[in-house]
Amino acid sequence: MAIRQEPVGLTGSTQLPAARAAETASAHGAVMTTAAAKFLAVVRAATGFVFLWAFLDKTFGFGYATPSAKAWINGGSPTKGFLSNVAVGPFESTFHSWAGTAWADWLFMLGLLGIGVALLLGVALRAAAVSGTLMMLLMWAAEWPLAKHTSAGAPSMSTNPIADYHIVYALVLIAVALTYAGNTWGLGKLWAKLPFVQRNRWLL
């Protein structure tokens, strides 16, 4: 009896059509259906657009979160407004000292741009996940949802003491990196074949 060979992904696991994988996942060792891979590609691109839009809006001031007068290209600071208004948590004074500094502005903006482009293209997802998770944890610490009140005694308006949207974004970044979400509707496969990426697997 002939044995049908199934396509194998980068992880070595078998990728099957959605219907067959649902029926035979345990037998074939499938961890990703075709439908799931496409869905994760959409999640990857949507998340990338969130980061890229934040970069563009803060750079050019489209009038949504950032008015034109406060745009980065017009002399505004991408970090001053947010960090100088931190009013809760044990790192309040630290974030105040960072607010508006050139190094903080450049790191923040390069992070938004790099993470956004990487996710949209489906390349360097591991680096994007690490840097994006670090960014989200710092922003989580700035908002410090664990506190019920600000340092001035006003309600902090925290809706969840632990799992806020920063944590969710971090988990999404990790998920798309672990599942090679750049291989579907992205440049992940081509990126992985580049010599410098093959020599430095952390760049996948």
Q: What is the pLDDT of residues 158-195, one digit of tens each?
A: 999 999 999 999 999 999 999 999 999 999 999 999 99
Per-residue confidence at 17, pLDDT binned at 50, 70, 90? low
Residue count of the chain, please give it. 204
pLDDT at 28 over 80: no
Give me the sign of the Cα torsion angle 47, 48, 51, 57.
negative
| Residue 27 pLDDT | 53
Give the C-alpha separation, 110 to 75, whole Å.
17
**C-beta of residue 37 within 8 angstroms of C-beta of residue 181:** yes
Per-residue confidence at 33, pLDDT binned at 50, 70, 90? confident
CA 119 to chain centre: 8
**Residue 137 host element (H or E):** helix 125-143
Q: Which residue has the tokens 């969710």?
A: 168
| Residue 182 pLDDT | 96
Q: Which residue has the higher pLDDT, 11 or 59?
A: 59
Q: What is the pLDDT of residues 59-83, one digit of tens each?
A: 999 999 999 999 999 999 999 999 9
**C-beta of residue 138 within 8 angstroms of C-beta of residue 97:** no
**C-beta of residue 119 within 8 angstroms of C-beta of residue 45:** yes
30 Ramachandran zone, left/alpha/beta (phi>0; psi -120 to 50): beta
Taking alpha carbons only, the member of 30, 11, 12, 10 closest to residue 20 is 30
Q: Which residues, in sequence order, are CB contacts of 58 under 8 Å at separation 6+? A: 65, 66, 71, 72, 76, 78, 109, 112
Taking alpha carbons only, the member of 53, 54, 14 closest to residue 31 is 14
| Residue 120 pLDDT | 98
| Residue 157 pLDDT | 94
